Amino acid sequence: MKVSITSKDALILVDIQNDFCVGSLAVPNACDIIKFVNSYIEFFEKNNRPVFATRDWHPKNHSSFKEFGGIWPIHCIQNTDGSMFYKDLKLTDETIVISKGTNPDKDAYSGFDGTDLNEKLNNLNIRRLFIGGLATDYCVKATILDALSFNYTTFFLHDASKAVNLKPDDEALSINEMLKAGAILIDLNDLIQ
Ligand code: VGL
Ligand code: ZN
């Protein structure tokens, strides 16, 4: 599907952080998305469109960690190397950073969960979101389903996303779920330059 950028569009990059790329919860082949993600950033910057980057930003005792009853290894603890954006990601000074998962008692997969992301988008009159990152079957999916529930037209950036695949079908299942909810799957070459 071909699409051109309008004044109501924003890019949302989900959790492209060291721990999800090369660290304690590394998503298989996560590094492969970086060249595409950087092209999306460049494209949105060139069109003067806002770029948002969410980050998983947990306190040390977060309930999603195995030792506190959750299912995940320790990851993305605030201000540690693991929680920094991946080094090859070409974010600019204008990138708007959204931190999530900061409440120790509550996991927040979606970038909208417990954050002011929706308010910031409303203030900028954004109506269409282009969303990709890590991981397709968790935080990207949750962010996209929330975006659709807030009535944004929502594009899933297929080449800018990778799945954890705890079960081998998780990626396919999550993509089906997003499409069924109304998301539109695109790749970089669908953007009209
Ligand atoms: C995520 C597992 C735990 C994600 C965050 O960003 O997809 N996955 N916390
Ligand atoms: Zn997390």
| pTM over 0.95, yes/no | yes
pLDDT band at 1 (very low <50, low <70, confident <90, very high): confident
The DSSP symbol for 61 reads T
**Distance between Cα 1 and ligand 1 center (Å):** 29
pLDDT band at 17 (very low <50, low <70, confident <90, very high): very high
Q: Which atom of ligand 1 is nearest to the CA of 142?
A: 7
Q: Specify the CATH superfamily of domain 9-190.
A: Isochorismatase-like (3.40.50.850)
Summarize pLDDT for 141-183 with one digit per residue, the tens: 999 999 999 999 999 999 999 999 999 999 999 999 999 999 9
pLDDT band at 58 (very low <50, low <70, confident <90, very high): very high
pLDDT higher than 90, residue 40 = yes
**Atom 3 of ligand 1 has which residue's CA nearest to it?**
72
Q: List ligand 1's pocket residues with C-beta within 6 A.
A: 15, 20, 56, 64, 72, 134-135, 138-139
d(CA 2, CA 191): 6
Task: Kindly identify the ligand whose nearest atom is closest to the C-alpha of 78.
Answer: 2
Sheet holding 9-14, edge to edge: 96-100, 51-56, 9-14, 128-133, 153-157, 184-186
Task: Kindly identify the ligand whose nearest atom is closest to the C-alpha of 101.
Answer: 2
Summarize pLDDT for 62-82 with one digit per residue, the tens: 999 999 999 999 999 999 999
